[in-house]
Amino acid sequence: MSNAVLIEDHGPKWVVRLNMPERRNALGRAVVTGLIEAAERAAAVKTLRAIVLCGAGDKAFCAGADLKERQGLNQDEVRAFVTLLNQSFRNIETSPKVWIAAIHGACLGGGLELSLCADLRVAQRDAVIGLPEVRLGILPGAGGTQRLPRLIGMARAKELILTGTRITAAEALALGVVNRVADDHEAAAHALADEVCLAAPISVREAKRAVNQGWELPLEEALALERACYDVIIPTQDRLEGLKAFAEKRAPQFKGE
Ligand code: COA
C-alpha cells in the first residue's frame, strides 16, 4: 500500500488517514487507490469494528478532487477517474464496518462527498465545509448531488450544491451534515468508535445494512428487509450473551459470533 493513505491499527479500531498534506489530502489516483485497498482490508478483518477516517496535517480533512492531477487528464481519463472515485466511496458506504469521518480544516468537494459515505461525521470547530464544484465549472460527481439531499433534505442540500457556498462546522451541525462539533475531532471520533465497540458486531453490521438499504425502499419492503437483517441475528451467540448478561447484571462480552 502506498503512503498516500495510512492505516493505524488500534485493535478493534483503525485510523485510516489520507496522507497528502502538501496537497491538502486531495483525492488523486494514489489516495483513491489507497482508500479502495483500506476498505477491502478492513472488510476482511473480523475483529475490526470501527474506522476513524481523517486527514494528515493541520489544514484539511480533504480539499476534494486533486485539481493539479486533473489538469493533466484527458476526457476519457477524467471519466475513468470519476468511476474509480465512486467505487472507492461506495466501498466505504457499504462496508460491514462503521466508518466515522473526523473532519478538520477544509472539507470541500470530494472531501465532503467522501465524508458523506461514512456512517457518522465529527467536525472540529475550525472546519470549512462545502461543495464548491459549480464554481469550478463542474458538479459534485462523487455522490454529492444524491447523498446530501438524502441526508439533510432537498432544500438545504440545493442551497449548498447550487451556490457552492462554504459553511462553518456550527452551520453544518445545524443543517445535520455532521453529527457533532468538537475541539478535538479525532478524540471525539474515537469516543464514538469506542461506543460502537461496546455493541454486538453482527448487530451493528446488520443494523447498518438495514438503515442503508432500507432508506430508498417503500416502507413494506424496508420492513421486510429489517426482518431479514434481524433473522441473521437470531441464531447468534452474541444475542444469547446479551440476554445472559442482562439477567446477570453485568456487561456483555460479545464475540461477533
Ligand atoms: N487539488 C490539488 N492541490 C490542492 C488542492 C486540490 N483540491 N487544494 C489545495 N491544493 C494545494 C495547493 O495548490 C497548494 O499547493 P502549492 O503549495 O504547490 O501551491 C497547497 O495545496 C496548499 O494550498 P493553499 O491554498 O496554499 O492552502 P490553504 O491551507 O491556505 O488552503 C484550501 C486550503 C483547501 C482551502 C484551498 O487550497 C482551496 O480552496 N483548495 C481548493 C478546494 C476546492 O475547490 N476543492 C474542490 C475540488 S472539486
Share of the chain above pLDDT 70, in %: 100
Ligand 1 pocket, residue 135 CB under 6 Å: no
| CATH code (residue 225) | 1.10.12.10
User: Would residue 20 count as lying in a domain?
Assistant: yes
The total number of structural domains that make up the chain: 2
Query: Among residues 133, 186, 206, 226, which one is catalytic?
Result: 133
pTM over 0.95: yes
Mean pLDDT, rounded, for 174-191? 98
- Please check whether residue 223 lies inside any domain of the structure: yes
User: Exposed (0-12), middle (13-18) or buried (19+): which is 137, by Cβ within 10 Å?
Assistant: exposed
pLDDT the model gives residue 2: 80
How do residues 218-243 score in pLDDT, each as one tens digit? 999 999 999 999 999 999 999 999 99
If you compute the radius of gyration of the chain from its CA atoms, what whole number of angstroms results? Answer: 19
Pair 185, 217 in one domain: no
Provide the percentage of residues in the chain whose pLDDT is more than 90: 99
Q: Is the CB of 26 under 6 A from ligand 1?
A: yes
For 142, the domain range is 5-197
Say whether 113 is catalytic: yes
116 and 181 within one domain: yes
The mean per-residue pLDDT over the stretch 53-77 comes to 96
DSSP string, 158-219: HHHHHH--EEEHHHHHHHTS-SEEESSHHHHHHHHHHHHHHS-HHHHHHHHHHHHHHTTS-H
Which atom of ligand 1 lies nearest, measured to the CA of 66? 1
Q: Write out pLDDT tens, residues 105-160.
A: 999 999 999 999 999 999 999 999 999 999 999 999 999 999 999 999 999 999 99
Domain match, 45 and 170 both: yes
pLDDT number for residue 248 = 98
The last residue of one of the domains, among 159, 174, 197, is 197
What integer pLDDT is reported at residue 126 of this predicted model? 96
Asked if residue 121 and residue 185 are part of one domain, the reply reads: yes
Measure 195 CA to ligand 1 centroid, in angstroms. 34
Q: What is the dihedral of CA 94, 216, 188, 155, to 10 degrees?
A: 130
**Longest alpha-carbon distance in the chain:** 65
Q: What are the cell numbers at 226?
A: 429489517
Check whether residue 220 and residue 113 sit in a common domain. Answer: no
Nearest Cα residue to 70 out of 6, 5, 3, 138: 138
Q: Is 133 a catalytic residue?
A: yes
Which atom of ligand 1 is the closest one to the Cα of 135?
44
Which pLDDT score is estimated for 227? 98
CA–CA gap between residue 63 and residue 47 (Å, rounded): 32
Q: Which of 19, 22, 24 to mutate to test the pocket of ligand 1 (most atoms within 8 A of CB)?
A: 24
Are 166 and 75 in a shared domain?
yes
Q: CA 105 to CA 169: how far, in whole Å? A: 10
Catalytic, 22? Answer no
Q: Do residue 97 and residue 180 come from a single domain?
A: yes
Q: Ligand 1 centroid to 82 CA: how many Å?
A: 19
Asked whether residue 31 falls in the same domain as residue 156, the answer is yes
Can 65 be counted among the known catalytic residues? yes
| Residue 34 pLDDT exceeds 80 | yes
Query: 256 in a domain, yes or no?
Result: no
Determine the average pLDDT of the residues in 22-35: 97
Q: What is the mean pLDDT of the segment spanning 25-41?
A: 97
Alpha carbon nearest to ligand 1 atom 15, residue: 23
Mean pLDDT to the nearest integer, 190-214: 97
Ligand 1 pocket, residue 105 CB under 6 Å: no
Residues 240 and 147 in one domain: no
Question: Is residue 145 within 8 Å of residue 171, measured between CB atoms?
Answer: no
Which residue among 34, 109, 110, 144 is the active-site one?
Answer: 110
In short, whether 113's Cβ falls inside 6 Å of ligand 1 is no
Residue 9: is its pLDDT beyond 90? yes
Residues 221 and 175 in one domain: no
Residue 13 lies in a domain: yes
Distance of CA 34 to the CA centre of its chain: 15
Kindly state the average pLDDT of the residues 170-193. 98
Q: Are 140 and 161 in contact (CB under 8 A)?
A: yes
Q: What CATH number is associated with residue 115? A: 3.90.226.10
> Given a cut of 90, is residue 216 above it in pLDDT?
no
